[in-house]
């Protein structure tokens, strides 16, 4: 029984449930080990290997979520700030939502990993999360999910309805353009060029009116072009011009790795920025600066 082809999609599933890439890798590995040990008891007449694996993975995730705190972004934890000079004090005692590196999973396993959706799912119960992902993202039938959760089809349908209602404000995934959309690529490239040039006016022109910037592990976020621009002026005043930007993707969204200039003429990895682009403008930027998160993407430190 070859289980390895399922590893990527299991990691993506566990990530949607936990909001942590590090934990998702560990739980996917635990799922694979449990399945391997139980392989002699697998009955192909009762379920496919994939359905059987997801039942194990669901149980592993539900156990991991028992008593666990939700993983937020700053916008889901504190009120927005109107002070662009607020202290940038990281809160490493908070288990923040982590980004998902697209390069660590197969394309088919990345169905709707948007940060906004995964963040909103943190407000659902663990079983509601499982039902939503299994039914809506992975297309398991109500009967299959009922077996995986050891419940009834009506209970699954009820949980799915409640989960959808709770996430209605997140919007339709189809409304968000893909990273390889030509308009998105043009916007991201222009944003990267403006960032490298420390051109705040150009950056601001590429934002929606109510654009959001947040920066875990700092419990701080800003909304609106004015506050966004004033904060960027502070960043460039502190770090100087001459940044370098590398384009990549995370959570099925465009992303930028930002390298800050150093006194010796080199550049050091500073942050990962995951962008939401809508109608040719940047609507949301989640800036991750935790070194442990940056390691996930295997980016060169210099």
Would 96 be classed as within a structural domain? Answer: no
d(CA 21, CA 98): 6
- 136 and 263: one domain? no
pLDDT digits (tens, 9 = 90+) for 5-31: 999 999 999 999 999 999 999 999 999
**What pLDDT is stored for residue 171 in this prediction?**
58
The answer to whether residue 302 sits within a structural domain is: no
Q: Give the number of domains in the chain.
A: 2
Radius of gyration of the chain (CA): 20
Are residues 247 and 174 in contact, defined by beta-carbon separation less than 8 angstroms? no
For residue 167, what pLDDT is reported? 86
Find the domain containing 206 and state its range: 176-296
Q: How many CA atoms lie within 13 A of 116 on its CB side?
A: 18
CA gap 228, 237 in Å, rounded = 14
Does the pLDDT value for residue 174 go beyond 60? no
Highest mean pLDDT: which range of 41-55, 114-128, 204-218:
204-218
Tell me if 80 is assigned to some domain.
no
Are residue 181 and residue 246 in the same domain, yes or no? yes
Q: What is the 3-state secondary structure (H, E, C) of 118-177?
A: HHHHCCCCHHHHHHHHHHHHCCCCHHHHHHHHCCCHHHHHHHHHHHHHHCHHHCCHHHCC
Looking at 170, 186, 205, the residue that finishes a domain is 170
Domain membership of residue 115 (yes or no) is no
The token pair that represents 165 in the structure block:
């209602």
Same domain for 30 and 144? yes
Q: Is the pLDDT of residue 177 over 70?
A: no
The pLDDT value recorded for residue 91 is 95
Q: Is the pLDDT of residue 96 over 80?
A: yes
Clarify whether residues 159 and 280 are in a common domain: no
In a domain, 276, yes or no: yes
Average pLDDT, the chain: 91
- 152 assigned to some structural domain: yes
Residue 219 has pLDDT above 70, yes or no: yes
* 158 plus 229 within the same structural domain: no
Tokens 């948007």 sit on residue: 114
Q: Point out the domain boundary residue: 115, 141, 170.
A: 170
Give, as one character, the DSSP assignment of residue 269: E
Share of the chain above pLDDT 90, in %: 78
**Has residue 104 got a pLDDT over 80?**
no
What pLDDT was estimated at residue 45? 83
Q: What local confidence, expressed as pLDDT, does residue 180 receive?
A: 78
User: Where residue 208 falls among pLDDT bands split at 50, 70, 90?
Assistant: very high
Question: What percentage of residues in the chain have a pLDDT greater than 70?
Answer: 95
Among 116, 138, 170, residue at a domain's last position:
170
């Amino acid at each position: 029984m070859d289980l390895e082809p399922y590893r990527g999609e299991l990691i993506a599933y566990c990530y949607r449930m936990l909001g942590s890439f590090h934990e998702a890798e560990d739980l996917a590995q635990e799922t694979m080990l449990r399945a391997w040990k139980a392989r002699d008891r697998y009955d192909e007449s009762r379920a496919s290997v994939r359905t059987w694996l997801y039942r194990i993975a669901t149980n592993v995730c539900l156990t991991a979520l028992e008593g666990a705190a939700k993983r937020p972004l700053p916008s889901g934890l504190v009120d927005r700030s109107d002070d662009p000079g607020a202290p940038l004090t990281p809160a490493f005692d908070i288990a923040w939502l982590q980004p998902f590196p697209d390069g660590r999973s197969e394309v088919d396993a990345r169905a709707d990993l948007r940060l906004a959706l995964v963040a909103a799912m943190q407000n659902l119960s663990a079983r509601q999360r499982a039902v939503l992902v299994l039914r809506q993202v992975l297309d398991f039938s109500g009967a299959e999910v009922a077996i995986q959760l050891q419940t009834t089809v009506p209970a699954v349908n009820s949980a799915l309805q409640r989960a959808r209602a709770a996430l209605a404000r997140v919007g339709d995934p189809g409304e968000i353009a893909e990273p390889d959309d030509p308009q998105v690529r043009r916007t991201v490239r222009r944003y990267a060029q403006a960032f490298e040039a420390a051109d705040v006016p150009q950056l601001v022109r590429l934002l929606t009116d109510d654009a959001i910037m947040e920066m875990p592990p700092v419990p701080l976020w800003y909304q609106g072009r004015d506050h966004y621009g004033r904060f960027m002026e502070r960043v460039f005043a502190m770090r100087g011009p001459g940044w370098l930007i590398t384009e990549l993707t995370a959570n099925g969204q465009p992303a930028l790795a930002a390298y800050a200039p150093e006194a010796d003429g080199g550049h050091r990895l500073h942050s990962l920025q995951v962008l939401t682009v809508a109608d040719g403008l940047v609507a949301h930027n989640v800036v991750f600066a935790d070194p442990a998160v940056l390691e996930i993407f295997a980016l060169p430190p210099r």
